[in-house]
Amino acid sequence: MVLLSTALVLTLAACGSKSSNSSSSSNGSTTKLSFPITSKGSGSVEKGGTLSIGIVNDSPFKGVFNEELYTDNFDADFMTPASEALFGTDKDFTINDKGAATQKLDQKAKTATITLKDNVKWSDGQPVTARDIVYAYEIIANPDTKSQRYTESLQNIEGMTEYNAGKAKTISGLEMPDGDNGKTVVIHFKEMKPGMKQGGNGYIWANAAPYHYLKDVAFKDLMSSDKIRKKPLFFGPYAISKIIPGQSVEFVPNKYYYGPKPKLSKITEETVSSASAPSALKNKKYDVLREMPQDNFSDWKKSDGYTNLGQQDLAYSYIAFKLGKWDDKTGENVMDAKAKMANKSLRQAMVYALNNDEISTKFYAGLRPRGTTLIPPVFGDYHLDDKGYTLNIKKANKLLDDAGYKKGSDGYRTDPDGKKLTINFASMAGGETAEPIAQDYIQQWKKIGLRVKLATGRLIEFNSFYDKIQNDDKGIDVFSAAWGLSSEPSPYDLFSAKAPFNYSRFATAENTKLLNDIDSEKAEDSAYRVKAFKAWQKYMLDQAAVVPTFYRTKVEPVSNKVKGYSISNDTTVANYANIELTK
């Protein structure tokens, strides 16, 4: 999972219309997609050439170029041509044997055997080994790295918790039968899980880290190391040749790549502000633009010389309520029964007050339908067919009245103890409409008598925003953000009691029970697992600790001179080695 580059960045300044006081009937269904997913190019193929990519972002990227340590989507964007997972996946996200390594599961022995192909090498020419696979787990599990990817799912590996606690120097459940320099790793699990056949499952880490290159760097220094920030190594089709921190990355072909020979001479990626992105497209400054702002899609959807690639995205925007904090000592989310947002009726009322259908219709051109549950429709049968929270001011008011939030003469409500209630709302800066949508939410909440103010008094810059959320800033009660999701739909690593990414800090016994049921051995039966997914979604809708606001459609404008650029889920198709430029 990666944090999406922008959370809720678009809105509607004039939502205080009459329609914003009525109930909404939209079911939040997704847009019928009609976009291609792979560029065809036009004309004869040019030998070599430079592919220029613009990545829309109103903040400098952090530059944590390591799969075990990065946390936001911009860093993922800026290392994509070089970074490659161990396993290939087909169009349905199922792991196949076409990647750098193969995976064989043994249900009876409770093991997964990972076997590297013989010719997989790092961009410095050194072979990728079993030790590199194990080292990636050590980076995640060592407390000195402070990796947010040390999740409850990975603790299913034998010896993982002992290593994390400093009780063992190695992870006993990671076996290298042919030694450090071999090609095989056998992973021993406490339990086998139904999602292990899917790419992106949280139980088997799908990346390796160059042990020979990083072993001399202390774990506590890895994230800030030049070997990660300035000269990182990968085994994908391209190698990073130059980095201008926060601004741009340059790639050249990885001459040691195990797959098809890369066809381009160079790839450049650079940050583009959301304000200048449409004009950059109009002036044909880039061959590809990623993370384009969707609030002005109508302005750029028909750009001369470009074709829009698109499909349902593994992502959603959401509203979350702070209900506790992360405990570093126990490695758990701890709820606070006295938290300002602990009352479920208050949370439900705040979500019922929002008019996300109108925002979706007027500003997203159908690209971001209102979210209904925490499992998006892209996951098919696992998605619960429910209308979710539609605008209902009357119901919101009744919830607050019944819960004891009384209105005073000033029109604002007090808390059930009769004390003044002020709710601090955090939202990210970015794009022309970030401020209007935040203000619209505040206006909608005012209609039900809630005094809501922007945390810090203004929108918060992307990096600072997530720093505050991750560290449970006391000045934030509710926030809007977004997730990029794993291709395995289990929500365990986002919402479990021991998940650092569980930013609302919602952790109940019932939530744990329902999450465990999704990934239980019984869930090997697909019908059982579908029911388990739907039971969890119903529970989360009722609890309203985290509520989706919009689903997403990924749309990327690609120049008609580009051939083979793809956003397919099939990693054989979506491989940067396939990209060519035409004349």
Summarize pLDDT for 184-215 with one digit per residue, the tens: 999 999 999 999 999 888 899 999 999 999 99
Own/partner long-range contacts of 211-216 (Cβ < 8 Å, ≥24 apart): 211/129, 211/131, 211/132, 211/134, 211/135, 211/180, 212/122, 212/126, 212/132, 213/122, 213/124, 213/126, 214/135, 215/135
Of 174-178, 228-232, 428-432, the one with minimum mean pLDDT is 428-432
pTM for the full model? Answer: 0.81
Helix (H) or strand (E) holding 268: strand 266-272
Asked if 358 contacts 15 with a C-beta cutoff of 8 angstroms, the reply is yes
Angle between helices 344-352 and 526-543 (to 10 degrees): 90
- Residue 530 in any domain: the answer is yes
Token representation of residue 247: 């601004």
Of 97-106, 228-237, 288-297, the one with minimum mean pLDDT is 288-297
Please report which residue ranges of 424-499 form alpha helices under DSSP H: 434-447, 462-470, 492-495
Angle between helices 526-543 and 509-518 (to 10 degrees): 150
Please report which residue ranges of 303-452 form alpha helices under DSSP H: 344-352, 356-363, 393-402, 434-447
Report how far residue 323's alpha carbon sits from residue 236's, in angstroms, rounded to the nearest whole number: 41
- Residue 8 in any domain: the answer is no
Cα 333 to the center of its chain, rounded Å:
20
pLDDT at 33: 52
Closest CA to 416 of 344, 323, 335: 344
What are the φ/ψ torsions at residue 571 (nearest 5 degrees)? -70, -20
pLDDT at 174: 98
Report how far residue 562's alpha carbon sits from residue 583's, in angstroms, rounded to the nearest whole number: 9
Mean pLDDT for the stretch of residues 378-407: 96
Residue that the structure tokens 């570093």 belong to: 328
The pLDDT of residue 354 is above 50? yes
Token representation of residue 162: 């002992």
Mean pLDDT for the stretch of residues 294-308: 88
The pLDDT of residue 71 is above 90? no
Residue type at position 166: G
- Residue 419 in any domain: the answer is yes
Number of domains within the chain: 1
Q: How far apart are the first and last CA of the chain?
A: 38
CA angle 312, 316, 320 (to 5 degrees): 170
pLDDT at 25: 35
Mean pLDDT for the stretch of residues 407-421: 96
Residue scoring higher pLDDT (5 or 496): 496
Of 8-17, 342-351, 366-375, the one with minimum mean pLDDT is 8-17
pLDDT at 92: 86
Mean pLDDT for the stretch of residues 16-31: 37
The pLDDT of residue 488 is above 80? yes
Report how far residue 342's alpha carbon sits from residue 490's, in angstroms, rounded to the nearest whole number: 26
**Mean pLDDT computed over every residue of the chain:** 92
pLDDT 10s digits, 272-281: 999 899 999 9
Domain that holds residue 397: 313-554
| Residue 434's pLDDT band (cuts 50, 70, 90) | confident
The pLDDT of residue 580 is above 80? yes
Mean pLDDT for the stretch of residues 99-108: 97
pLDDT 10s digits, 500-554: 999 999 999 999 999 999 999 899 999 999 999 999 999 999 999 999 999 999 8
pLDDT at 32: 54
Q: CA-based Rg of the chain, rounded to a whole angstrom? A: 24
Mean pLDDT for the stretch of residues 55-66: 94
pLDDT 10s digits, 236-249: 999 999 999 999 99
- Residue 479 in any domain: the answer is yes
- Residue 369 in any domain: the answer is yes
- Residue 166 in any domain: the answer is no
- Residue 465 in any domain: the answer is yes
- Neighbouring CB atoms inside 10 A of 75's CB total 22
Closest CA to 541 of 407, 365, 279, 347: 347
The pLDDT of residue 43 is above 70? yes
- Residue 463 in any domain: the answer is yes
Residue scoring higher pLDDT (18 or 179): 179
pLDDT 10s digits, 326-340: 999 999 999 999 999
**What is the domain-level CATH number for residue 440?**
3.10.105.10
